Amino acid sequence: ADLVSSPINMVAMTGSSAVGRKIMRECADDLKRLVLELGGKDPMVVFADADLDKAAEDAVTFSLFNCGQVCCSVERIYVEETVADTFAE
């Protein structure tokens, strides 16, 4: 709170929605510019007709991209049951 209420011009934060709300309230008083990336739980969905090798490669790449600190990084993967074992291999 001390950092956000200090005489700065802008705040950027990646984190939870709860903390984002608190930061937004603090920034509103001084009309500070604000960029928030909040609470992502971004799923990847893999259907039976997908290129499974490419999907598996992308699952790893996009879950670890920028150490996972991206608002759209893959956090959960849903795989159609008929190809789940093949995908997991």
Q: Determine the Cα–Cα distance for residues 51 and 76; give it in Å rounded to an integer.
A: 18
Active site residue 72: no
Active site residue 27: no
Q: Which of 88, 85, 81 is closest to 48 using CA atoms?
A: 81
Catalytic residue among 71, 72, 75, 80: 71
Q: What is the set of active-site residues?
A: 37, 71
